Amino acid sequence: MIAHGKDIKVFTGNSNPKLAQNICQELGIPLGDSEVGAFSDGENFASIYETVRGSDVFVVQSTCSFRKDDKSGSVNDALMELLIMIDALRRASAGRITAVVPYFGYARQDRKTKPRDPISAKLVANLITTAGADRVLTMDLHANQIQGFFDIPVDNLLGSPIFVDHFIEKYASCHDDTMVVSPDVGSVARARAFAQKLNMPLAIVDKRRQKANQCEVMNVIGDVEGKECILFDDMVDTAGSLCNAAKAIVEVGGAKKVYACASHGVLSGPALERLAASSIEELALLDTIPAPAGEEELAKSRIKYLTVAPMFAEAIERTYQEISIAKLFN
């Protein structure tokens, strides 16, 4: 039995409308007619201006901070917009609602690290489910176990194939002198899978974190001397860990050049300044989160964005057709 709606409709909030528009272009459909904003007192609202009765609806909204009309929105604004849109669509008799969350905020709060800590990732999962979502489509969750926080199906797309294509093209002529580096021990499994796809050796930066958003790089496990290295992680927040890892690879390990890639560019606080002053030749990011600065500032920080729109469009089409999404990564 086919469980999807009669047609595909895509709507977006304010956190990443450009990505939603690009997804619609890949699908060959117009972006849904809606308005999402805030009243003068800060309360969020959503208005849907077309019928969605019986449709297979996809709401594209990364739960990240954003800017709209020279006004800033927080992670919580993005989350509330997503919840309110889902509620509006459910009350409008949508056939099925999929929350498309390219970047899932609060994912780092996935466990208790000390007494009386919340597990905010589980709370966000409950909110999305209670609002009325039937499915969730996301990319590179910070911890895979977050999929188990939901009581509805979750498809967690992998951004690594996009980076694999990017670096295969980049290193076609000097493949033997390149290796993948994990910026910390916790990212080893992710970096190892990436290295296997590129058929490159793996090194690890061993670090000791003193407190939140600060870390001290200790040493490099693996021979990176004279090599061009690719640092691989799932996100870049303040860029402290990434820049310290790059410094260790060059100063301790003796690497020739350092490149980096990460699925989600949060780039908060001093991130852009740190990247501009670092030894990283290029940082490749996916556009799950919109760029926080103009092209000139991004160029100073040597940041390059790769689009995820084709992958999300294919996943949306496969969800609608009830076709396996896992085969995208086989």
Q: Could you give the residue numbers annotated as active site?
A: 207
DSSP H or E stretch at residue 182: strand 178-182
Residue 71 identity (one-letter amino acid): K
CB 182 within 8 A of CB 232: yes
What are the residue ranges of helices labelled H in the chain?
A: 17-27, 75-91, 120-131, 160-170, 188-198, 240-251, 271-277, 295-300, 309-321
**Helix, coil or strand: residue 7:** coil
- Please report, as a single letter, which amino acid is at residue 311: M
C-alpha gyration radius of the chain: 20
Cα–Cα distance for residue pair 67/267, rounded to 1 Å: 14
Residue 192 belongs to what H/E stretch?
A: helix 188-198
